[in-house]
Structure 1
C-alpha cells in the first residue's frame, strides 16, 4: 500500500535501518535476506532522494536528513503498536502477543518468574522475551523497542517511573552453621567480616547498602564481588562470609538453603522497585493484565526500613 507514493510496507525496514545502521543486523532482526534489505534501502534512497546511510570505513553513518527521520518514524511505529494492541473485546485466552521485558535477576527472583509462569496458564499464546539491564536499556525504552523495563530506584532511567510496584528492605545473609551466632549482628561484627558484594548492571550499579555505608563513613572488606545474587548460596555455605541483599531475596533463599537472615545493622530507607513503559503502551490490555498479576504476586506487607 502506498501513501503519497511511499510504500508503507517499507516503514518497518526504514525504522530498523535508522536504528541499527547496519544491513546485516536489520536482515537478522526482520528475518530477511541481506539482498532484500539492500533493495529496500535502494528504494528508500530513491524516494527520499537522499543516501540515508553513508559508509564510513566498515560501518555506516546516518546522513543529516536521515537523523531528522528518527523521531517521526519512531512515533509512527509506536502509534501503530498501540493501535494493534487495542481490541473492542479487550483480551481473551487466545490473544497472541510477545512481551519484551528488560529486568534484573532480582525481579525474576521476587516475583517476575512466577508471574510469567502463571500468565502462561492464563494466556498460553502470549510469549515472553526477558533481557538483562544494560547501558542500552534506556534507549530501547525510549524507542518503544521493549514493552516493559523493571528497575530499582538506584538505576537512572532518565524519566519518572510509570509506577512503583513495591518496596523492599535490606538484610544480611550468612551460612546458618558458620555465620554469626544469634539472630542479630552488630555493626562491629559486620565490619570485621569479609563480604560478598553484589554489583548489578554491567558491574557498575551496587545495592543501596553501598550508599548507606558511604554516608556512615565505613568501608567493608570486599572478599568477593559478583554480578548476580543467584550464586550467593554456593559462595556462602560453609564459610564465614557475609552478603548484604534485599529482604525479599534473603527470605526466598533461606527457605531452600542452609542460610540465615540477619538485620542490616545500619539505618536505611526502603528500596523502591519501579516499572517503566513507552507511552505507546498506555492502554495495552495485555501488558496491563500482566502487570496486575505481577503486582498481585509481589503484594505483601511492606518491609519497614530502619529509621
Structure 2
C-alpha cells in the first residue's frame, strides 16, 4: 500500500472508535460532527475491506479483523507521538497545559494540594483537573480519558499492565474524639471491636481498611459507613472510633479535634500509593515533567 495516498488520521479515528465503541462519542473526542465521523468510518471500511464495526443495540461491536488490528494501531500511534514529541521543548514557566488526574479525596488533600499551591508560582499555565476515583478508574486510564491515575497499588490488580511508579506509603492509625470518654492514649483490641465503629467506603466499594479488617477477622461494632475523606470530621462529640491514614491525621487532627494512636492490630498493612499512565503519554515531555514533579514532592514529604 502506498502510504502517500493514505490519510493517517484515519488510524486516530480507528483507535477512538475501538476505545469508545460509539460513533457519537468518538466524534466528540475528535471534535467533529457525527455525520463526519460516520463518513470517516466509511473510509476506514473501504481502506481495510472489512465492516470493522457491526451495530448492536446502541453500540458498535468490533469484527475479528478490528480486534486483531487494535493493538498494532495503538502501538503505531504511540510511537508516532513519541517521535513527534522528541523535538518539542517544554518550559513549565511558560507552558499552557491541562492535565486530568483521577485521585480520591485523601490523595487530593494530603498530596495534590501542596502541588497545586506550588504550581501557582512555578508553572502558572499548568492546570490540574482532578476527578474522583469511580468504580471504572482502570478503564478510564486504559481508554486514555485521563492523563494520570493515583491509586493504592493494593486496589489496582492490573497495575502491571500500565507504566507506573510508587509515590509513597502510608500507615493506618486509630482516630477518636480528643475528649473520648473511654479511650486514653492507647486502645485495646477489645475496645476496638466493641466501641461504636465508623466504617469507610470508596465510592460503592468498601475501603482497603475495611477489606483488610475483614480478611484479618477483626470484629467491629459498625454504626455508620461513610467516605473515608469525611470520616475524621464525624468523630467530634461522639464515642465513634475509625481508622485513618497517618498523613490525613497529621493534616486534620487539630481542625477535627482528634486523638490518634496505634491500632491494636499487628498485621494491619500500610497502603502504597502509585501513579499510573499509558504508553501513549510515556514520552511526552510535559507529562514527564509532571510525573517527575510528583516524585520529587513525594520524596520531599517523606523526608519531612
1:204 aligns with 2:205: yes
| 1:162 alignment counterpart | 164
Q: Which residue of 2 aligns with 1:235?
A: 234
1:207-237 Cα shifts (integer Å, max 9, x gaps): 246425632x3211221222x3232244222
Gaps of 5+ in 1: none
Does structure 2 conserve the Cα–Cα contact (< 8 Å) formed by 1:155 and 1:205? no
Alpha-carbon distance in 2 for matches of 1:193, 1:233: 16
Q: Is the 8 A contact 2:92 2:122 kept in 1?
A: no
User: Which range is displaced more, 63-72 or 260-269?
Assistant: 260-269
Alignment length, in residue pairs? 299
Corresponding residue for residue 214 of structure 1: 215
Query: Structure 1 residues 80, 145: CA separation in 2 closer, same or farther (over 3 Å shift)?
Result: farther
Specify the alignment match of 1:262 in structure 2: 261
Q: Deviations over 1:257-300 (max 9, x none)?
A: 22222221211333221122223433433233323333343334
Shift of 1:121: 2.9
Q: Does 1:174 align with 2:176?
A: yes
> Which residue number in structure 2 is paired with residue 34 of structure 1?
34
**RMSD over equivalenced CA pairs, Å:** 2.6
Q: Contact 1:153–1:272 (CA<8 Å) still a contact in 2?
A: yes
Output one character per residue of 1:105-152: Cα deviation in whole Å (capped at 9) or x when no partner. 221122112213422432223332323334433334345543322111
- Structure 1 residues 84, 139: CA separation in 2 closer, same or farther (over 3 Å shift)? farther
Candidates 160, 183, 201, aligned match of 2:185: 183
**Cα gap change, 1:180/1:288 in structure 2, threshold over 3 Å: closer, same or farther?**
farther
Secondary structure of the structure 2 residue equivalent to 1:197: strand
Alpha-carbon spacing, 1:246–1:212, altered in 2? closer, same or farther (3 Å): same
Could you say if the C-alpha distance between residues 302 and 198 of structure 1 is closer, same or farther in structure 2, counting changes exceeding 3 Å? farther
Q: 2: distance between equivalents of 1:167 and 1:79? A: 33
Q: How many Å separate the matches in 2 of 1:300 and 1:292? A: 14
TM-score (norm 1): 0.85
Corresponding position of 1:138: 138
Matches within 5 A, 1:54-65: 54-65=54-65
Identify if the C-alpha distance between structure 1 residues 300 and 9 changes in structure 2 by more than 3 Å, giving closer, same or farther: closer
TM-score, scaled to structure 2: 0.86
Contact 1:91 1:285 in 2 (8 A): no
Between stretches 120-129 and 251-260, larger displacement belongs to 120-129
Structure 1 residue 247: Cα displacement? 0.6
The answer (yes or no) to whether the contact 1:251–1:261 under 8 Å persists in 2 is: no
More helix by share: 2
Q: CA 1:9/1:135 → structure 2, altered by over 3 Å: closer, same or farther? A: same
Does structure 2 retain, via aligned residues, the 8 Å contact 1:152–1:272?
A: yes
Equivalent residue number for residue 105 of structure 1: 105
In 2, the alpha carbon distance for the partners of 1:82 and 1:110 equals: 33
In the TM superposition, 1:36-115 aligns within 5 A as: 36-87=36-87, 89-115=89-115
Matched, 1:14 2:40: no
